[in-house]
Amino acid sequence: MSSSVSITLARPADARDIAEMSRDCVETGLGWSWTPPRVLHAIRDRATNVVVARGGAGELLGFGIMPYGDQRAHLSLLAVRAASRGQGVGRELLGWLEKCAVTAGLEGISLEVRRDNPGAVEFYRRCGYELAGTVPGYYSGVLDALRLAKTLWTPTGQPAD
Ligand SMILES: CC(C)(COP(=O)(O)OP(=O)(O)OC[C@H]1O[C@@H](n2cnc3c(N)ncnc32)[C@H](O)[C@@H]1OP(=O)(O)O)[C@@H](O)C(=O)NCCC(=O)NCCS
């Protein structure tokens, strides 16, 4: 990843850009569920981290949204602007969110990804996620999801590799 890219928590003023990136990069063909008010709510939620990657001019390159539970975290959304993909930005955003989950002592992270998105499935596989099941009709009742998961701590309390 270029050294001019910075990873920080999102600000309320980022809500619209993030929501529009979700609409255009993730929710394509499904309707727009991550609207600006919903993203703003996540930014303000103390149990959720909304993280952004910015370029040297402060422009939004990508973002991730992760709510943290008592035992597990869930990756709700992750996207990188098309022109900035394949440069390590997605891995960096995910790593930032995972580090918070590890610090909080959580057992693992799960996520759902569209079955028709093999590129994202491969991205998550390379980031250490494994197939944990399928969820028929998860997206608006019309599109199946693959559930992926990563273990952060083993049942014996030893850190996962
Ligand atoms: C999936 C996504 C977030 C990946 O972000 P990215 O910045 O391009 O990913 P990185 O450059 O950090 O890649 C990390 C690794 O994944 C691999 N990878 C990334 N995209 C890939 C693809 N489409 N196909 C195969 N491998 C891919 C990279 O080769 C790299 O592997 P390596 O580190 O072993 O060499 C990005 O493509 C995206 O925003 N896609 C559209 C939205 C989406 O599908 N989001 C996920 C579902 S919510």
The domains of the chain are located at 6-151
Is the minimum distance from the CB of 148 to ligand 1 under 6 angstroms? no
Q: What is the dihedral of CA 150, 44, 50, 137, to 10 degrees?
A: 60
Q: How far is the CA of 157 from the centre of ligand 1 (A)?
A: 30
pLDDT at 149: 98
Of residues 40 and 154, which shows the higher confidence score?
40
Domain 6-151 in CATH 3.40.630.30? The answer is yes
Mutate to test the pocket of ligand 1, among 7, 24, 27, 85 (most ligand atoms within 8 A of CB): 85
Least confident range of 29-33, 90-94, 128-132, 133-137: 29-33
Q: Relative to the CA of 117, which ligand 1 atom is closest?
A: 44
Whether the predicted pLDDT of 141 surpasses 90: no
pLDDT at 142: 85
Q: What are the tens digits of pLDDT across the range 58-67? A: 999 999 999 9
Residue nearest to atom 8 of ligand 1 (CA): 85
Is the minimum distance from the CB of 116 to ligand 1 under 6 angstroms? no
What's the Cα-to-Cα distance from 63 to each of 25, 91, 116, 141, rounded to whole Å? Answer: 11, 11, 21, 26
DSSP summary character for residue 87:
S
Q: How far is the CA of 8 from the centre of ligand 1 (A)?
A: 19
Least confident range of 8-12, 47-51, 97-101, 152-156: 152-156
Is the minimum distance from the CB of 117 to ligand 1 under 6 angstroms? yes
DSSP 3-state of 25:
helix
Q: Which amino acid is at 100?
A: C
**The token pair that represents 12 in the structure block:** 């309320």
Query: Vertex 149, ends 142 and 139: CA angle to 5°?
Result: 10
DSSP summary character for residue 159:
B
Taken in order 66, 28, 82, 55, is the CA torsion positive or negative? negative
